[in-house]
Structure 1
Amino acid sequence: MSLRTRLSAYLVGLHTLLFVMAALLLIEQASLFVTVELLLMASLAGGFHLLKRALEPLGYTRRLHDLLQDQHYANRLAPPEAGELDELVALFNTLLATLHRERLEIGEQQGFLDRLLEATPSAVLVFDFDGGISLFNASAAALLGLEQARGKPLAAWLDGSALLSSTLDDVARARSLSLLKQLDTLTAGDARLLTDPAGRRYRAQRGRFFDRGFARDFLMVEELTAELESSERAAYEKLIRVLAHEVNNTVAATASVLDSLRYYASQLTERDATDFSTAIVAVRRRNVSLGEFIERFTRVVKMPAPELRPANLKEVVDGILWLNREQCNARDIRLEWGRCDSVPPQPIDIQLMEQALLNIVKNAIEAIDARRAQDAGAAGFVRATLENDGGRIKLSIIDSGGQLSGALQRQLFTPFVSTKKGGQGIGLMFVREVLNRHDCTYSLAPGFDAETRFDIWFPATRAGADVTARREGSPPAALAAASCP
């Protein structure tokens, strides 16, 4: 029973009792009875009026409750008839106005945040209280291949309970899984440099904020490949130019002195002259090696801008396989073609691309030699494939060396990192520069059966481009081990 009902019942009961008492006591005095009855009726009416006024604040409170519950913050309460409630109604209206203004500000901020998240190139993921993804932008969906990700933790893609986007190719799928695995190990407050199987680098940071008193995490992933490569290139160029200048001056002066010392051999005894000449030749050979070592670095730094002309990729690869046929035959290493689609000519700088592919094939042959040193019965082959991969041209060099580990894979394409003992990583630096200047994407990763794959995707070009004249020195078409099947 409401307060209004109880108070109304009280007034009615009280006045009913008074009416009965007046009737019993004043029934013989008609004029006084009528007067008392009229006063009691006026008292009852006044009581109901005062009851209405007394309960009026409860009515405003109820209307405010309804407005808040329905989130009608733009509405206002009507001014009261009595001045006693002016302050209360003004307070309620001020509260509604404040809520309305804050709601507009939050809506504007949320709209701005949504547009900012969609426009930013960084991948952003926001997690709910249970660690599931509650918000992610388009960059995160593209980078990580997320599909229907809301409510799922990162581990869902690692254990197979959630699937990546079906539009991803094998390379993008491997990249997404690698990044998800690394991101899943980050804790709140961590910032780390990540790498994918293709050697591309990312800065990842996991932060935390509080929502309604509960902690929620977010992840930001920003690709740094171009920025880091640019800064590294500038630093390497400066360092290598200084080293090349100093070393070349020293090498030239040392070579001149060594050549002059050789004339003194005739003044020594035969035995001493032989030792003297042998020492001079050894030092001179080491001096020449030092000059060649610096020259390999300067070749990367001083690489000219590519001169793009349409070229037949099959002929380019045929030429490289032809150059290596003798040493591979001597080492019992098969040079062969796998799949070989008919593809349109590609605009490339033939000299730079040949040198890059020659480095890749040379690394493959040396990897096979390294594996045979560990396993004498291991098969040796270098296989090239050329295919039209969904409109993009894909060239792959596959070898049976199997010398690429997952940890080392993420460090390749940087100086002084190599799978070869004593290697400086200069060859892969050169390959990276050539492919980047041709706008190619690439991946160096372990394959099946202890194989290693170097995949190169050429940018989409116009079909039907004219092929330039056959290069001088191209291998014959009848090359048995290096021709398309």
Structure 2
Amino acid sequence: MKSPSEKKFAKLASEHQLLLGLLLALTPIVALTIYLVWFVSDWSWHGKVFASAMVFLPLLLSLLHLPARLSQQWRVLVNVAESVRRGDYSLRGRGSRDPGAYGELVRELNALAEQLQQQRLHTVEQQLLVEKIIRDIDVAIFAFDHQQRLTLANTMALHLLQAPIEQLRQQSAEALGMHGLLAVQDSEVREHAFASQHGQWHVRVEQYRERGLPHYLLFVSDLQHVLRREEQKVWTRLIRVLSHEVNNSLSPIISISESLRTVSHDLPAETADDLQHGLQVIQERASSLNRFVRRYAELARLPTPQCQPIDLREVLNALKTLQAASQVEFDIEPGPLPVFVDAGQLQQALLNLLKNAIEAGDEGAPVQLRVRASKQQISLQVLDQGSGIANPGNLFVPFYSTKPGGSGIGLLISRQIVEAHGGSLSLRNRKDRQGCIAEVLLPKALG
């Protein structure tokens, strides 16, 4: 148990405690000085007063200045510690050159603030990297709090929900129609209809804790996209084999037919005419088949896009100058349209879609290219007035075409180009009238 005097002493500020301790320590010296000056010495009264003033005034001034000095030094340390507690690591304490314990304490506190500042900078850089990866990854990521309300969604997730994060944040999983997906144990394949796409999805749910409460991360992967990539690899290998074998067979056929046509002039006229006609048919069909194979070989040889940051208007302006786009009405939203694309490849993909739209309608029927931009992506819609889509399941099947003499490769190449740029290509029938809408979605480039 502390005595009442000890309790009162503990309530004093540290600098006042130090001052009181010094006064107690100096009391014997002061008493001895007074005794020697006033009772032992034979100095005059003025001499005793002067001697006492010379001894006690500096001592008194030093004792009065000491608490203020100590309070100032402690205040410096308190300010630095308080700024660190508040998350501001830029403040540094003065007095680091002091060779004593105070200087050592200041140096250690400054070193701590510097280390915390560097750690925060590293954390911010890592966080920006993670945010960029999450934003650009082709997996939809949703974060829900302990009440299953949406708190975060990356670009792919927002594309599936077709709404900005400001509109979706704090909505419940049930309101978003995703309550069933959150009930998945570990990972499953689920069929689900999002606002922009219906299909088979690989769904995985991970749980983490924040402030002791359970939160949820929902990962949704498009299985159709994965299957398309595998399908594309199979078609590419098949086309390469067919191109090699067919070209090896066609080249000698064309060559031999040309040689036979040359020597057929020595035959009787009637026989020569029949032979010439037959050889011409062989040569024409062989040349047609050769062109057909070369056309499909383009799919297998499609190069990796050489992307650069540009404004999409550059590609659209180049399209306007082409004869194939002469009957296309361009409806382009004002404002910048920043994209990171290979301009040549993207122009080829859009030109394929415009040609399909023109050929789908009657001669002279208008075709519209509508361009709109959102916060995360840019939409390019090609609207025609044709008969619409009768068999959507075969849209991207190689060798399938509803057009006479069509190869069925235009849409396939366009989709391959768009997906190589991180975008998507979809086709659907129009609701306002007869016709089709081909929509390209491209991610917006970072400003």
> TM (normalized to structure 1)?
0.47
Moved more, 283-292 or 418-427: 418-427
C-alpha contact 1:197 1:409 (8 A) present in aligned 2: no
Call closer, same or farther: CA 1:197–1:136 in 2, change over 3 Å. Answer: closer
Partner of 1:237: 236
Equivalenced residues, count: 270
C-alpha contact 2:372 2:379 (8 A) present in aligned 1: yes
Question: Is structure 2 residue 279 aligned with structure 1 residue 286?
Answer: no
Call closer, same or farther: CA 1:361–1:283 in 2, change over 3 Å. Answer: same
What is the SS of the residue equivalent to 1:276? helix
Q: CA deviation at 1:340?
A: 3.9
Partner of 2:345: 352
CA distance in structure 2 between the aligned counterparts of 1:243 and 1:197, rounded to whole angstroms = 40
Partner of 1:277: 276
C-alpha contact 2:383 2:436 (8 A) present in aligned 1: yes
CA distance in structure 2 between the aligned counterparts of 1:122 and 1:345, rounded to whole angstroms = 23
Q: CA deviation at 1:434?
A: 0.3
Letter in 2 for 1:363: N
Q: Deviations over 1:363-421 (max 9, x none)?
A: 1111114xx7xxxxxx711111223233532222211114214xx23442232444435
Partner of 1:306: 305
Call closer, same or farther: CA 1:311–1:271 in 2, change over 3 Å. Answer: farther
Match of 1:398 among 369, 380, 383: 383
Call closer, same or farther: CA 1:462–1:197 in 2, change over 3 Å. Answer: closer
Letter in 2 for 1:299: E
**RMSD between aligned residues:** 4.1
Letter in 2 for 1:342: G
C-alpha contact 1:435 1:441 (8 A) present in aligned 2: yes
What is the SS of the residue equivalent to 2:335? coil
Partner of 1:8: none
After TM superposition, list the pairs within 5 Å mapping 1:378-417 onto structure 2: 380-405=365-390, 408-417=391-400
C-alpha contact 2:337 2:444 (8 A) present in aligned 1: no
Q: CA deviation at 1:232?
A: 1.0
C-alpha contact 1:443 1:455 (8 A) present in aligned 2: yes
User: How high is the sequence identity, in percent, across the aligned residues?
Assistant: 29
Partner of 1:365: 358
CA distance in structure 1 between the aligned counterparts of 2:259 and 2:331, rounded to whole angstroms = 55
Letter in 2 for 1:360: L
Q: Deviations over 1:412-442 (max 9, x none)?
A: 2232444435644211111111001111133
After TM superposition, list the pairs within 5 Å mapping 1:23-38 onto structure 2: none
C-alpha contact 2:419 2:425 (8 A) present in aligned 1: no
What is the SS of the residue equivalent to 1:428? helix
What is the SS of the residue equivalent to 1:250? helix
CA distance in structure 2 between the aligned counterparts of 1:440 and 1:422, rounded to whole angstroms = 29
After TM superposition, list the pairs within 5 Å mapping 1:125-274 onto structure 2: 148=172, 150=174, 201-202=199-200, 223-274=222-273
Call closer, same or farther: CA 1:392–1:223 in 2, change over 3 Å. Answer: closer
Letter in 2 for 1:336: E
Call closer, same or farther: CA 1:426–1:345 in 2, change over 3 Å. Answer: same
What is the SS of the residue equivalent to 2:361? helix
CA distance in structure 2 between the aligned counterparts of 1:254 and 1:263, rounded to whole angstroms = 14
- Which structure has more relative contact order (CA 8 Å, sep 6+)? It is 1
C-alpha contact 1:343 1:393 (8 A) present in aligned 2: no
C-alpha contact 1:198 1:442 (8 A) present in aligned 2: no
Partner of 2:403: 420
What is the SS of the residue equivalent to 1:395? strand
C-alpha contact 1:194 1:204 (8 A) present in aligned 2: no
Partner of 1:455: 439
Q: CA deviation at 1:271?
A: 4.0
CA distance in structure 2 between the aligned counterparts of 1:195 and 1:403, rounded to whole angstroms = 23
Moved more, 415-424 or 347-356: 415-424
CA distance in structure 1 between the aligned counterparts of 2:245 and 2:375, rounded to whole angstroms = 50
CA distance in structure 1 between the aligned counterparts of 2:196 and 2:340, rounded to whole angstroms = 23
What is the SS of the residue equivalent to 1:251? helix
Q: CA deviation at 1:273?
A: 2.9
Q: Deviations over 1:28-61 (max 9, x none)?
A: xxxxxxxxxxxxxxxxxxxxxxxxxxxxxxxxxx
Partner of 2:421: 438
CA distance in structure 2 between the aligned counterparts of 1:196 and 1:279, rounded to whole angstroms = 58
CA distance in structure 1 between the aligned counterparts of 2:386 and 2:439, rounded to whole angstroms = 16
Q: CA deviation at 1:336?
A: 1.6
Call closer, same or farther: CA 1:275–1:318 in 2, change over 3 Å. Answer: farther
Call closer, same or farther: CA 1:298–1:354 in 2, change over 3 Å. Answer: same
Q: CA deviation at 1:344?
A: 3.7
What is the SS of the residue equivalent to 1:453? strand
C-alpha contact 1:198 1:443 (8 A) present in aligned 2: no
Call closer, same or farther: CA 1:455–1:270 in 2, change over 3 Å. Answer: same
Call closer, same or farther: CA 1:263–1:387 in 2, change over 3 Å. Answer: same
Call closer, same or farther: CA 1:281–1:315 in 2, change over 3 Å. Answer: farther
Partner of 1:171: none
Q: CA deviation at 1:312?
A: 4.4
Call closer, same or farther: CA 1:354–1:269 in 2, change over 3 Å. Answer: farther
CA distance in structure 1 between the aligned counterparts of 2:418 and 2:269, rounded to whole angstroms = 55
Structure 1 gaps, min length 5: 1-120, 125-134, 151-162, 166-175, 184-190, 206-219, 373-378, 464-485
Q: Deviations over 1:416-474 (max 9, x none)?
A: 444435644211111111001111133221222113222222212134xxxxxxxxxxx
